Amino acid sequence: MKTVGVFRYGGPEVLEVVDLPVPEVGPGQIRIRVHAASVNPSDILLRTGFTDSMLAGRLTPPYRPGMDAAGVVDAIAPDANTDLHVGDRVMAIVIPIDPSGGAYAEYVVVDARQVVRAPAGTTHAEAATLPMNGLTARLALDVLDLAPGGWIAVTGAAGALGGYTVQLAKADGLSVVADAAPADEELVRSLGADKVVSRGPDVADRFREVVPQGVEAVVDAAVMGPQVLGAIRPGGQLALARSVGEPGTVPLGDTGEVIVRNVFVPEYRYAHDKLDALRVLAEEGRITLRVAGEYPADQAADAHRRFEGGGVRGRLVLTF
């Protein structure tokens, strides 16, 4: 089978197309014929070596990125607890540090709990944008556990994670203030944000203009860190999509009375019911699946270059 992985860490050029044996189905597992796998920030962390401590000595190179897969059920273990059948269109969250490896492959074998039907009426590419980012947004909101009617702020609202967070927060009955560049304001409003402020420095002040008492929580999809602390009321919460110390983050410093929550989506790898609930919301039109571009698998390096260039709205998707 065709896979895309790395034998050495570095820039996009280290991504190699490699032919590997099709994996066998083990106990409780499903094999997916992957047609689409989205490109995420976590893929860059793997490619550049940040996750080496979780890979070296556990998996055999080439290490494969990819946390979202969409395709067709190819095989099911006899003991798998699932109502799926061979030939069903599905999507799955894939964890590259697990024995399965990442989703950049024609076939991937995962636990049946990681797989649900793809939203009806979607393409493989559209379905591949949902599992990892959707579950990250879901986990962030679950960890914050805000009561309906409360105010939440979302940074990076035009991106995939930020956009899903806005839409899921609205589905939960929350009021949302989000940031956006001028060109993205209409998009962010269309996702359901109640108020939109300009992104960039001093965004906390602009959030405070909308919610003078301070928001109950911030989901920091844009990795602004300490710049958003001033928007949060005393005793409020900050949900971090990237833990402090990861590339692109800066130390938070004194957080005062703000409670910091780290959001680590592998904790939801087996959250089958939550992934299926995302499918339902997508079918109802309450979650928007945005594909920013599709690339054949052998052009994975080009997709990574475009992703790292910034300005991508939605997700870039590799096709197999």
Strand 89-93 versus strand 115-117 pairing type: antiparallel
Task: Name the pLDDT band for 245 (thresholds 50, 70, 90).
Answer: confident
* Residue 170 reports pLDDT greater than 90: yes
Listed in sequence order, the DSSP H helices in the chain are: 41-47, 52-55, 124-127, 131-144, 160-171, 185-190, 203-210, 272-283, 300-308
Mind listing the pLDDT tens digit for each residue in 127-167?
999 999 999 999 999 999 999 999 999 999 999 999 999 99
Selection from 265, 257, 243, 242 nearest residue 143 by Cα: 265
Instruction: Tell me what pLDDT residue 249 has.
Output: 87
Q: To which residue do tokens 């602004």 refer?
A: 224
- Which amino acid, one-letter code, is at 189? R
Strands (E), 42-194: 68-76, 89-93, 107-111, 115-117, 151-155, 175-180
Cβ atoms within 10 Å of 258's Cβ, excluding its own: 21
Instruction: Tell me what pLDDT residue 18 has.
Output: 98
Distance CA 105, CA 64 (A): 8
**pTM higher than 0.85:** yes
Answer yes or no: are the C-beta atoms of 90 and 117 closer than 8 Å: yes
